Amino acid sequence: EIVLTQSPATLSLSPGERATLSCRASQSVSNFLAWYQQKPGQAPRLLIYDSSNRATGIPARFSGSGSGTDFTLTISSLEPEDFAVYFCQMRSNWPWTFGQGTKVEIK
């Protein structure tokens, strides 16, 4: 099973700042990596798939990059509604797995 490790566990930032989240895979997943956002009491929402493609309706301030084992989600300028937990997920091998999440909190 491929393990996805996200860092940091918590990111404390102010609105308007840039957020950089990391996801590292225990072995190569090519570009088969996605990012989800989850707010308290809500289901996850797909942000990015295939490492860098934005899902429908996702603002341009969200971008993804990386391939192989190292991936990054960047939020260029944090809006108040962006404070949430972010999970990465891979689909290169079964079982499809998720990272443990990074919480982006208001500083």
Partner 1 sequence: QVQLVQSGAEVKKPGASVKVSCKASGYTFSTYDINWVRQAPGQGLEWMGWMNPKSGNTGYAQKFQGRVTMTRNTSTSTAYMELSSLRSEDTAIYYCAKRRSLTEAGWFDPWGQGTLVTVSS
Report the interface residues with partner 1, using CB under 8 A. Answer: 32, 34, 36, 42-46, 49-50, 55-56, 87, 89, 91, 94-101
Give the shortest CB-105-to-partner 1 separation in angstroms.
Answer: 15
Q: How far apart are CA 14 and CA 98, in angstroms?
A: 27
CA distances from 42 to 6, 27, 84 (A): 21, 31, 10
Query: What separation in angstroms does the CA of 58 have from each of 8, 34, 69, 73?
Result: 23, 13, 24, 13
Asked if residue 39 lies in contact with residue 28, where contact means CB atoms within 8 angstroms, the answer is no
Shortest spacing between CB 92 and partner 1, in angstroms: 8
Nearer to partner 1, 78 or 85 (CB): 85
Toward partner 1, which CB reaches closer, 17 or 68? 68
- Minimum Å distance from CB 91 to partner 1? 3
